[in-house]
Amino acid sequence: MKWKKFKKEQISLNYTVMLLPHSQKKPIHFKTPVWTFGLFFLGLLVLSGACLFFAGSRLQLKEVQAEKAKLEQEWEELAQEKELADLENEMLKQARETQEQELKELEQRTRDTLKELEDLVVRESQIRQELGLGQAEGGEDGQALPGEDEGTGDSSAPESGEGEKTEDDWDPESLEDGDAEGEASGQVLSPAAMYAQYGAVEASGTSSVEYTMMLAENDASFQVIQSELALLSSTLTEKTSQYDAYLATIEERKAAEAAEIARRKALRDSIVQTALQYVGNAYVYGGNDPNTGVDCSGFTRYILGNVAGVYLNRTAAAQSGQGRQVSEAEARPGDLVFYSGGGGVNHVAIYMGNGRVVHASNERVGITTSDMHYRTPVKIMNVLGD
C-alpha cells in the first residue's frame, strides 16, 4: 500500500480548471498521471507533423496537377496542329487530284471542241453552197446578178477582164464595213457584206440571220478554244519548268557523284604515288618512318595515315582485320594485300593496280615493288571505306 501511494503521489500531477472563474461556485479540481500528459503532448506533436506533412503534400500535389494540366494543354495543342497539318496535306492531295482530273477533262473538252470545229467547217461549207456563195458572181452570158437594179441596169459586178471573186477568196482582215465599192477598189468583201450588198440568196432574211448567228457561234467557239489552249499552254509551261528543275537536280547529283568518284580515285592514286617515292629506302624491323627505315606494317600505317588520314593498327595481323574484304577482281589501288607465312598473317603490301604491289619487303631489298603473286595473297582489304 505504501508503494502504491508513493507511486501515485510521485507520478501524478495536480490540475485545477476554473470553468467559471467569476462565479461563486467551487472550481473544478482534478489530478492526472504524468504519462497521460506525455501522451497528450506526443499526440499534439504527431498531429502537428501530420498537418504539416499533408499541407506540404497538398501544395506539391497542386504543383504537379498544374504542371500536368499544362502538359496536357500543350499535348492537345500539338495534337490539333498535327490534325491541321494532316488536314492540309489531305486537302493538298485532293487539290492535286482535282487539278489532274480537270486537266484530263480540259484535254477531252479541247478534243471535243476541235471535233465540233471540224463539224462547223463542214456545216459552213454546206451553207455556203446552199446560199450560192461559192458560185461565180457573174455569168458568161452577161445576165445581171441577183442583186442588180433591173430598172436602172446598174451593176456592181466586175468588168470583163477582172478576176471573179468567190467566197473562197474572202480574207477577214481585208473587210471594210460599208464599202459598196470594195470590189472595184480591189478589196474582197466578207460573205455577210456580199449578201447585204447583192442580196444574191433566194431565201428570206431569216437565212441571213441564221448565217450571222452561226458565224457568231463559230467565233465564240474559237475564243473558248483559245482560252483552253492558253490554259493548257500555261500548264505545260509549269510542268516543263518542274521537269527542268528535276533535270537540274539530277544533273547536280550526277556531277556531285562524279566529283566524289574523281576525288576517291585521286586519293588512291596519291596513296600509290606517295608510296612509290620511298622505293629503295631501308627496311628496319619495328620502324615507323620510311625516311629512316620501316617494316611492312609500319610502311602501310605511315602511308595511309599521312595521305588518307586512316588509322591502322601496328602489326600486319591486326591490320588484316580492319576495313572491308574484297576479291582480287574488285581490288583497287590503295587497298592492302596480306600474306601468310603458314602461321597467320605476317606481311602486308599496298596494291598499285595492274597486279603489282609496293611494300617494305626485307632488310636485303628494302622498300620495293613486286608482282602481287610473288607470294600467295590470303586477304585483300579496303580500308578507305568507299
Reported confidence tier of residue 302, pLDDT bands at 50, 70, 90 = very high
Reported confidence tier of residue 292, pLDDT bands at 50, 70, 90 = very high
pLDDT of amino acid 247: 76
Between 195 and 333, name the one with better pLDDT: 333
pLDDT of amino acid 210: 63
Mean pLDDT of 317-327: 95
pLDDT of amino acid 4: 58
Whether 12 maps to a domain, the answer reads: yes
Q: Give me the number of domains the chain comprises.
A: 2
User: What's the CA gap between 49 and 88, in Å, rounded?
Assistant: 58
Domain end point (choices 70, 91, 106): 106
Q: Report which of 196, 226, 208 is spatially closest to residue 113, judged by C-alpha positions.
A: 226
C-alpha cell at 356: 603489282
Reported confidence tier of residue 169, pLDDT bands at 50, 70, 90 = very low
Mean pLDDT of 266-281: 96
The CATH number of residue 315's host domain is 3.90.1720.10
Q: Report which of 233, 230, 221, 236 is spatially closest to residue 112, judged by C-alpha positions.
A: 221
pLDDT of amino acid 188: 41
pLDDT of amino acid 37: 65
pLDDT of amino acid 21: 54
User: What's the CA gap between 165 and 172, in Å, rounded?
Assistant: 14
User: Distances in Å between the alpha carbon of 295 and those of 287, 305, 377, 382?
Assistant: 6, 15, 18, 20
pLDDT of amino acid 134: 54
Among 173-187, 256-270, 293-307, 317-331, name the one with the lowest average pLDDT: 173-187
At 33-79, the pLDDT tens digits run 666 767 877 888 888 888 888 888 888 888 888 888 889 998 988 98
Whether 337 maps to a domain, the answer reads: yes
Residue 134: Cβ within 10 Å count: 13
pLDDT higher than 80, residue 18: no
Mean pLDDT of 15-30: 55
Whether 42 maps to a domain, the answer reads: yes
With a pLDDT cut of 70, the percent of the chain lying above it is: 68
Pairing of strands 12-17, 377-382: unpaired
Q: Report which of 339, 271, 352 is spatially closest to residue 305, judged by C-alpha positions.
A: 271
At 342-381, the pLDDT tens digits run 789 999 999 999 999 999 999 999 999 999 999 999 999 9
Whether 135 maps to a domain, the answer reads: no
pLDDT of amino acid 242: 74
User: What's the CA gap between 128 and 135, in Å, rounded?
Assistant: 9
Whether 149 maps to a domain, the answer reads: no
Mean pLDDT of the chain: 76
Structural domain boundaries, residue 352: 271-382
pLDDT of amino acid 171: 44
With a pLDDT cut of 90, the percent of the chain lying above it is: 33
pLDDT higher than 80, residue 153: no
Hey, what amino acid is at 60?
Q
Domain end point (choices 106, 123, 155): 106
- Say how far residue 386 (Cα) sits from the centre of its chain: 28
**Do residues 110 and 232 touch, judged by C-beta distance below 8 A?**
yes
pLDDT of amino acid 234: 81
Whether 364 maps to a domain, the answer reads: yes
Reported confidence tier of residue 283, pLDDT bands at 50, 70, 90 = very high
**Do residues 109 and 228 touch, judged by C-beta distance below 8 A?**
yes
Whether 34 maps to a domain, the answer reads: yes
pLDDT of amino acid 131: 66
User: What's the CA gap between 132 and 127, in Å, rounded?
Assistant: 8
**Do residues 197 and 156 touch, judged by C-beta distance below 8 A?**
yes
pLDDT of amino acid 233: 76
Domain end point (choices 91, 106, 121): 106
C-alpha cell at 306: 599521312
pLDDT higher than 70, residue 23: no
pLDDT of amino acid 121: 78
**Do residues 314 and 334 touch, judged by C-beta distance below 8 A?**
no
- DSSP for 132-147 reads TTTS-SS-TT-PPPTT
pLDDT of amino acid 312: 96
Mean pLDDT of 111-134: 75
Whether 225 maps to a domain, the answer reads: no
pLDDT of amino acid 313: 95
Between 327 and 233, name the one with better pLDDT: 327
At 192-218, the pLDDT tens digits run 444 444 444 444 444 555 656 666 777
Residue 364: Cβ within 10 Å count: 7
